[in-house]
Amino acid sequence: MTATGLEPFSLPLSDPLETAAGTIDAREGFLVRIEVAGEVGVGEAAPLPGWTEPLDACRTALERALEAGHREGWEAAFEELALAPAARHGVSLALADARSRAAGVPLYRHLGGDRPVEYVPVNATVGDGPAVETAAAARRAVDAGFGCLKVKVGARKVAEDVERVRAVREAVGEGIELRADTNGAWRRTQARRALSAFAEYDVAYVEQPLPADDLRGLHALRGGPVDVAVDESIAKAGIEAVLAAEAADVAVIKPASVGGPDLAREAAGQALSTGVAPVVTTAVDAVYGRTAAVHVAASLPRVPACGLATADRFAGDLAPDPAPVRDGEIKVPQRPGTGVEPPGDGGLGGG
Protein backbone atom coordinates (compact mmCIF):
# COMPACT_ATOMS: atom_id res chain seq x y z
CA MET A 1 0.00 0.00 0.00
CA THR A 2 1.40 3.35 -1.03
CA ALA A 3 0.37 6.88 -0.18
CA THR A 4 0.75 8.70 -3.47
CA GLY A 5 -0.71 12.14 -3.00
CA LEU A 6 -2.15 14.88 -0.82
CA GLU A 7 -3.57 18.02 -2.40
CA PRO A 8 -5.61 20.93 -1.02
CA PHE A 9 -8.87 22.04 -2.58
CA SER A 10 -11.38 24.82 -2.13
CA LEU A 11 -14.88 24.71 -3.61
CA PRO A 12 -17.17 27.78 -3.46
CA LEU A 13 -20.72 27.11 -2.33
CA SER A 14 -23.67 28.28 -4.41
CA ASP A 15 -25.13 29.86 -1.27
CA PRO A 16 -23.54 30.41 2.15
CA LEU A 17 -23.94 27.53 4.59
CA GLU A 18 -25.22 28.59 8.01
CA THR A 19 -23.94 26.38 10.84
CA ALA A 20 -23.89 26.64 14.61
CA ALA A 21 -20.22 27.64 14.31
CA GLY A 22 -20.83 30.39 11.74
CA THR A 23 -21.29 30.98 8.02
CA ILE A 24 -19.28 29.00 5.46
CA ASP A 25 -18.81 30.29 1.91
CA ALA A 26 -16.60 27.46 0.63
CA ARG A 27 -15.67 23.91 1.56
CA GLU A 28 -11.93 23.53 1.99
CA GLY A 29 -9.93 20.41 2.55
CA PHE A 30 -7.56 17.87 1.09
CA LEU A 31 -7.75 14.97 -1.32
CA VAL A 32 -5.80 11.88 -0.34
CA ARG A 33 -4.72 9.30 -2.90
CA ILE A 34 -3.59 5.81 -1.82
CA GLU A 35 -2.65 2.87 -4.01
CA VAL A 36 -3.51 -0.70 -3.05
CA ALA A 37 -2.73 -3.70 -5.29
CA GLY A 38 -2.37 -1.42 -8.29
CA GLU A 39 -5.68 0.37 -7.68
CA VAL A 40 -5.88 4.02 -6.66
CA GLY A 41 -8.37 5.14 -4.04
CA VAL A 42 -9.26 8.75 -3.33
CA GLY A 43 -10.35 10.11 0.02
CA GLU A 44 -11.71 13.52 0.97
CA ALA A 45 -10.73 15.28 4.19
CA ALA A 46 -12.79 18.45 4.56
CA PRO A 47 -13.01 19.81 8.12
CA LEU A 48 -16.32 21.35 9.19
CA PRO A 49 -16.21 23.91 12.03
CA GLY A 50 -18.13 22.66 15.04
CA TRP A 51 -17.93 19.05 13.96
CA THR A 52 -14.24 18.28 13.34
CA GLU A 53 -10.72 19.55 13.79
CA PRO A 54 -9.67 22.83 12.09
CA LEU A 55 -8.10 22.90 8.64
CA ASP A 56 -4.50 23.33 9.82
CA ALA A 57 -4.83 20.47 12.30
CA CYS A 58 -6.30 18.31 9.54
CA ARG A 59 -3.31 18.93 7.28
CA THR A 60 -0.84 18.18 10.07
CA ALA A 61 -2.63 14.95 10.98
CA LEU A 62 -2.75 13.85 7.35
CA GLU A 63 0.95 14.48 6.80
CA ARG A 64 1.89 12.56 9.94
CA ALA A 65 -0.50 9.72 9.14
CA LEU A 66 0.67 9.26 5.58
CA GLU A 67 4.28 9.26 6.70
CA ALA A 68 3.51 6.70 9.41
CA GLY A 69 1.52 4.57 6.98
CA HIS A 70 4.35 4.52 4.47
CA ARG A 71 6.92 3.70 7.16
CA GLU A 72 5.06 1.38 9.55
CA GLY A 73 1.73 0.44 8.00
CA TRP A 74 -1.79 1.77 8.16
CA GLU A 75 -2.46 0.78 11.76
CA ALA A 76 0.23 3.26 12.73
CA ALA A 77 -1.33 5.82 10.41
CA PHE A 78 -4.69 5.58 12.14
CA GLU A 79 -3.04 6.14 15.52
CA GLU A 80 -2.06 9.60 14.24
CA LEU A 81 -5.70 10.33 13.34
CA ALA A 82 -7.48 9.58 16.61
CA LEU A 83 -8.25 13.25 17.33
CA ALA A 84 -8.73 14.35 13.72
CA PRO A 85 -11.98 12.89 12.33
CA ALA A 86 -11.90 14.78 9.03
CA ALA A 87 -8.35 13.62 8.36
CA ARG A 88 -9.24 10.07 9.37
CA HIS A 89 -12.18 10.18 6.98
CA GLY A 90 -9.85 11.09 4.12
CA VAL A 91 -7.42 8.25 4.80
CA SER A 92 -10.03 5.60 5.59
CA LEU A 93 -12.05 6.51 2.50
CA ALA A 94 -9.00 6.38 0.25
CA LEU A 95 -8.11 2.93 1.60
CA ALA A 96 -11.67 1.64 1.34
CA ASP A 97 -12.01 2.99 -2.19
CA ALA A 98 -8.75 1.35 -3.29
CA ARG A 99 -9.51 -1.94 -1.58
CA SER A 100 -13.01 -2.20 -3.02
CA ARG A 101 -11.67 -1.36 -6.48
CA ALA A 102 -9.06 -4.11 -6.07
CA ALA A 103 -11.81 -6.53 -4.99
CA GLY A 104 -14.01 -5.50 -7.93
CA VAL A 105 -17.02 -4.55 -5.77
CA PRO A 106 -18.85 -1.27 -5.09
CA LEU A 107 -17.91 0.36 -1.81
CA TYR A 108 -21.22 -0.42 -0.10
CA ARG A 109 -20.64 -4.16 -0.61
CA HIS A 110 -17.06 -3.82 0.67
CA LEU A 111 -18.44 -2.11 3.79
CA GLY A 112 -20.69 -5.08 4.49
CA GLY A 113 -23.86 -4.50 2.49
CA ASP A 114 -25.30 -7.94 1.82
CA ARG A 115 -27.61 -7.21 -1.11
CA PRO A 116 -27.68 -5.11 -4.27
CA VAL A 117 -29.01 -1.60 -3.66
CA GLU A 118 -29.65 0.71 -6.59
CA TYR A 119 -31.23 3.71 -4.85
CA VAL A 120 -31.43 5.30 -1.39
CA PRO A 121 -34.30 7.64 -0.42
CA VAL A 122 -33.22 11.20 0.37
CA ASN A 123 -34.77 14.29 1.90
CA ALA A 124 -34.81 17.84 0.58
CA THR A 125 -33.73 20.63 2.94
CA VAL A 126 -35.84 23.78 3.14
CA GLY A 127 -34.22 26.96 4.49
CA ASP A 128 -35.30 29.29 7.25
CA GLY A 129 -37.06 32.00 5.24
CA PRO A 130 -40.45 33.52 6.10
CA ALA A 131 -43.49 31.25 6.15
CA VAL A 132 -44.67 32.01 2.60
CA GLU A 133 -41.18 31.58 1.17
CA THR A 134 -40.61 28.35 3.12
CA ALA A 135 -43.93 26.89 1.99
CA ALA A 136 -43.17 27.71 -1.66
CA ALA A 137 -39.76 26.05 -1.42
CA ALA A 138 -41.35 22.99 0.15
CA ARG A 139 -43.91 22.77 -2.64
CA ARG A 140 -41.15 22.95 -5.28
CA ALA A 141 -39.29 20.10 -3.57
CA VAL A 142 -42.42 17.94 -3.55
CA ASP A 143 -43.05 18.76 -7.21
CA ALA A 144 -39.48 17.57 -7.88
CA GLY A 145 -40.33 14.18 -6.37
CA PHE A 146 -39.18 14.45 -2.76
CA GLY A 147 -41.34 12.63 -0.23
CA CYS A 148 -39.41 13.85 2.81
CA LEU A 149 -38.55 17.44 3.74
CA LYS A 150 -36.31 18.86 6.46
CA VAL A 151 -37.21 22.39 7.53
CA LYS A 152 -34.55 24.56 9.14
CA VAL A 153 -35.81 26.13 12.36
CA GLY A 154 -34.31 27.78 15.44
CA ALA A 155 -33.18 31.09 13.98
CA ARG A 156 -36.56 32.70 14.77
CA LYS A 157 -38.93 32.77 17.71
CA VAL A 158 -40.67 29.47 18.38
CA ALA A 159 -44.05 30.92 17.43
CA GLU A 160 -42.69 31.97 14.03
CA ASP A 161 -41.22 28.51 13.43
CA VAL A 162 -44.52 26.89 14.34
CA GLU A 163 -46.23 29.12 11.78
CA ARG A 164 -43.62 28.18 9.17
CA VAL A 165 -44.11 24.46 9.80
CA ARG A 166 -47.90 24.92 9.63
CA ALA A 167 -47.52 26.68 6.28
CA VAL A 168 -45.33 23.88 4.94
CA ARG A 169 -47.77 21.19 6.03
CA GLU A 170 -50.66 22.99 4.40
CA ALA A 171 -48.62 23.46 1.21
CA VAL A 172 -47.50 19.82 0.84
CA GLY A 173 -50.41 17.88 2.29
CA GLU A 174 -50.47 14.89 4.62
CA GLY A 175 -48.49 12.34 2.62
CA ILE A 176 -45.09 14.04 2.96
CA GLU A 177 -42.76 13.34 5.87
CA LEU A 178 -41.65 16.51 7.67
CA ARG A 179 -38.58 16.90 9.82
CA ALA A 180 -37.16 19.98 11.53
CA ASP A 181 -33.58 20.90 12.41
CA THR A 182 -32.57 23.50 15.00
CA ASN A 183 -28.78 22.94 15.09
CA GLY A 184 -28.96 23.12 18.89
CA ALA A 185 -30.50 26.60 19.01
CA TRP A 186 -33.19 26.02 21.64
CA ARG A 187 -33.18 25.72 25.41
CA ARG A 188 -35.29 23.17 27.23
CA THR A 189 -38.45 25.25 27.68
CA GLN A 190 -38.38 26.37 24.04
CA ALA A 191 -37.84 22.82 22.83
CA ARG A 192 -40.74 21.42 24.85
CA ARG A 193 -43.04 24.14 23.56
CA ALA A 194 -41.95 23.66 19.96
CA LEU A 195 -42.20 19.86 19.93
CA SER A 196 -45.66 20.04 21.45
CA ALA A 197 -46.79 22.48 18.74
CA PHE A 198 -45.07 20.58 15.92
CA ALA A 199 -46.98 17.44 16.83
CA GLU A 200 -50.15 19.00 15.42
CA TYR A 201 -48.48 19.10 12.00
CA ASP A 202 -47.17 15.53 12.14
CA VAL A 203 -43.47 16.37 12.31
CA ALA A 204 -41.57 13.07 12.43
CA TYR A 205 -38.60 14.33 14.39
CA VAL A 206 -36.69 17.42 15.43
CA GLU A 207 -32.94 17.28 14.90
CA GLN A 208 -30.69 18.58 17.67
CA PRO A 209 -33.41 20.52 19.54
CA LEU A 210 -30.94 21.25 22.37
CA PRO A 211 -27.21 22.06 22.53
CA ALA A 212 -24.91 19.16 21.76
CA ASP A 213 -23.75 18.62 25.33
CA ASP A 214 -27.22 18.55 26.92
CA LEU A 215 -27.73 14.78 26.74
CA ARG A 216 -29.85 14.79 29.88
CA GLY A 217 -32.20 17.38 28.39
CA LEU A 218 -32.43 15.45 25.13
CA HIS A 219 -33.31 12.31 27.07
CA ALA A 220 -36.08 14.20 28.89
CA LEU A 221 -37.61 15.34 25.57
CA ARG A 222 -38.09 11.78 24.34
CA GLY A 223 -41.32 9.87 24.67
CA GLY A 224 -43.61 12.46 23.10
CA PRO A 225 -45.38 12.54 19.73
CA VAL A 226 -42.31 14.03 17.99
CA ASP A 227 -39.07 12.05 18.01
CA VAL A 228 -35.70 13.48 19.02
CA ALA A 229 -32.76 13.24 16.63
CA VAL A 230 -29.15 14.14 17.37
CA ASP A 231 -26.34 15.25 15.07
CA GLU A 232 -23.87 17.59 16.78
CA SER A 233 -24.15 15.50 19.96
CA ILE A 234 -22.60 12.56 18.12
CA ALA A 235 -19.69 14.69 16.93
CA LYS A 236 -19.17 16.15 20.41
CA ALA A 237 -19.83 13.21 22.73
CA GLY A 238 -19.67 10.15 20.48
CA ILE A 239 -22.33 7.62 19.56
CA GLU A 240 -21.64 5.47 22.65
CA ALA A 241 -22.37 8.34 25.04
CA VAL A 242 -25.52 9.33 23.14
CA LEU A 243 -26.87 5.79 23.25
CA ALA A 244 -25.87 5.25 26.88
CA ALA A 245 -27.76 8.42 27.83
CA GLU A 246 -30.78 7.29 25.79
CA ALA A 247 -30.68 10.77 24.29
CA ALA A 248 -32.04 10.03 20.81
CA ASP A 249 -34.72 8.28 18.82
CA VAL A 250 -32.76 8.99 15.62
CA ALA A 251 -28.98 9.20 15.11
CA VAL A 252 -27.89 11.53 12.31
CA ILE A 253 -24.52 10.18 11.22
CA LYS A 254 -22.06 12.14 9.08
CA PRO A 255 -19.24 9.87 7.87
CA ALA A 256 -17.00 12.91 7.37
CA SER A 257 -17.36 14.00 11.00
CA VAL A 258 -17.26 10.61 12.76
CA GLY A 259 -13.99 9.58 11.11
CA GLY A 260 -14.77 7.68 7.94
CA PRO A 261 -17.19 5.31 6.22
CA ASP A 262 -16.05 2.40 8.38
CA LEU A 263 -16.77 4.20 11.65
CA ALA A 264 -20.02 5.62 10.27
CA ARG A 265 -21.30 2.16 9.46
CA GLU A 266 -20.16 0.94 12.87
CA ALA A 267 -22.02 3.80 14.56
CA ALA A 268 -25.15 3.06 12.52
CA GLY A 269 -24.97 -0.59 13.60
CA GLN A 270 -24.68 0.43 17.24
CA ALA A 271 -27.72 2.67 16.86
CA LEU A 272 -29.77 -0.05 15.20
CA SER A 273 -28.88 -2.53 17.94
CA THR A 274 -30.51 -0.24 20.53
CA GLY A 275 -33.60 0.59 18.47
CA VAL A 276 -32.34 4.01 17.35
CA ALA A 277 -32.81 4.73 13.65
CA PRO A 278 -29.68 5.88 11.78
CA VAL A 279 -29.97 8.60 9.15
CA VAL A 280 -26.81 9.07 7.07
CA THR A 281 -26.05 12.60 5.90
CA THR A 282 -23.24 14.48 4.24
CA ALA A 283 -21.32 17.30 5.86
CA VAL A 284 -21.89 19.22 2.63
CA ASP A 285 -19.04 17.21 1.14
CA ALA A 286 -17.60 17.37 -2.34
CA VAL A 287 -18.16 14.44 -4.68
CA TYR A 288 -15.76 11.97 -3.08
CA GLY A 289 -17.08 12.37 0.45
CA ARG A 290 -20.68 12.76 -0.66
CA THR A 291 -20.64 9.56 -2.71
CA ALA A 292 -18.98 7.69 0.16
CA ALA A 293 -21.91 8.70 2.38
CA VAL A 294 -24.29 7.28 -0.24
CA HIS A 295 -22.45 3.96 -0.02
CA VAL A 296 -22.62 3.96 3.77
CA ALA A 297 -26.39 4.41 3.60
CA ALA A 298 -26.70 1.69 0.95
CA SER A 299 -24.72 -0.73 3.14
CA LEU A 300 -27.27 -0.61 5.97
CA PRO A 301 -30.03 -3.19 6.29
CA ARG A 302 -32.76 -0.56 6.50
CA VAL A 303 -32.51 3.17 6.26
CA PRO A 304 -35.03 6.04 6.17
CA ALA A 305 -34.63 9.04 3.87
CA CYS A 306 -31.10 10.38 4.26
CA GLY A 307 -29.52 13.82 3.91
CA LEU A 308 -27.48 13.08 0.80
CA ALA A 309 -29.01 15.44 -1.78
CA THR A 310 -26.42 18.19 -1.32
CA ALA A 311 -24.57 18.31 -4.66
CA ASP A 312 -26.46 21.46 -5.63
CA ARG A 313 -24.73 23.29 -2.78
CA PHE A 314 -21.68 23.64 -5.03
CA ALA A 315 -21.11 25.86 -8.02
CA GLY A 316 -18.68 23.20 -9.34
CA ASP A 317 -17.14 19.98 -8.09
CA LEU A 318 -13.93 17.94 -8.07
CA ALA A 319 -15.13 15.23 -10.48
CA PRO A 320 -18.31 14.17 -12.30
CA ASP A 321 -21.07 13.04 -9.94
CA PRO A 322 -21.93 9.31 -10.28
CA ALA A 323 -24.86 9.55 -7.83
CA PRO A 324 -27.55 11.88 -9.20
CA VAL A 325 -30.83 12.55 -7.39
CA ARG A 326 -34.14 11.91 -9.09
CA ASP A 327 -37.69 11.65 -7.71
CA GLY A 328 -36.53 11.75 -4.11
CA GLU A 329 -33.89 9.02 -4.47
CA ILE A 330 -30.15 9.04 -5.01
CA LYS A 331 -28.48 6.54 -7.30
CA VAL A 332 -25.98 4.15 -5.74
CA PRO A 333 -22.98 3.63 -8.06
CA GLN A 334 -22.41 -0.03 -8.92
CA ARG A 335 -18.88 0.24 -10.28
CA PRO A 336 -15.98 -0.91 -8.07
CA GLY A 337 -15.04 1.53 -5.32
CA THR A 338 -17.01 4.71 -4.82
CA GLY A 339 -17.76 4.96 -8.53
CA VAL A 340 -16.10 8.38 -8.69
CA GLU A 341 -13.30 8.38 -11.22
CA PRO A 342 -9.92 8.93 -9.54
CA PRO A 343 -7.94 11.86 -10.85
CA GLY A 344 -5.15 11.22 -13.32
CA ASP A 345 -1.44 11.49 -12.67
CA GLY A 346 -1.51 15.21 -13.42
CA GLY A 347 -3.31 16.07 -10.18
CA LEU A 348 -5.83 15.07 -7.60
CA GLY A 349 -8.68 17.32 -8.55
CA GLY A 350 -9.82 20.83 -9.21
CA GLY A 351 -11.17 23.57 -7.08
Q: What is the DSSP letter of 154?
A: S
Query: Strand, helix or coil at 67?
Result: helix
Residues 114-144 as b/e (b if ≥16 CB within 10 A, e otherwise) read eeebebbbbbbbbebeebeebbbbbbebbee
Q: Yes or no: say if 262 and 277 are a contact pair by the CB < 8 Å rule.
A: no
Question: Which is the catalytic residue, given 152, 157, 236, 331?
Answer: 152
**Which phi and psi (to 5°) does residue 116 adopt?**
-65, 135
Q: How far is the C-alpha of 296 from the C-alpha of 108, rounded, in Å?
A: 6
CA dihedral sign, ordered 250, 233, 179, 255: negative
Q: How far is the C-alpha of 253 from the C-alpha of 282, rounded, in Å?
A: 8
**Which phi and psi (to 5°) does residue 320 adopt?**
-60, 145
**Whether 152 is catalytic:** yes
Question: Which is the catalytic residue, given 150, 236, 254, 331?
Answer: 254
State the amino acid at position 349 in one-letter form. Answer: G
Q: Among candidates 281, 218, 293, which has minimal Cα distance to 249?
A: 218
Question: DSSP string of 125-144?
Answer: EE-S--HHHHHHHHHHHHHT
Q: Yes or no: say if 258 and 285 are a contact pair by the CB < 8 Å rule.
A: no
Question: DSSP string of 170-196?
Answer: HHH-TTSEEEEE-TT---HHHHHHHHH
Q: How far is the C-alpha of 150 from the C-alpha of 224, rounded, in Å?
A: 19
Residues 183-207 as b/e (b if ≥16 CB within 10 A, e otherwise) read bbbbebebbbebbebbeebebbbbb
**Whether 150 is catalytic:** no
Catalytic residues: 152, 254
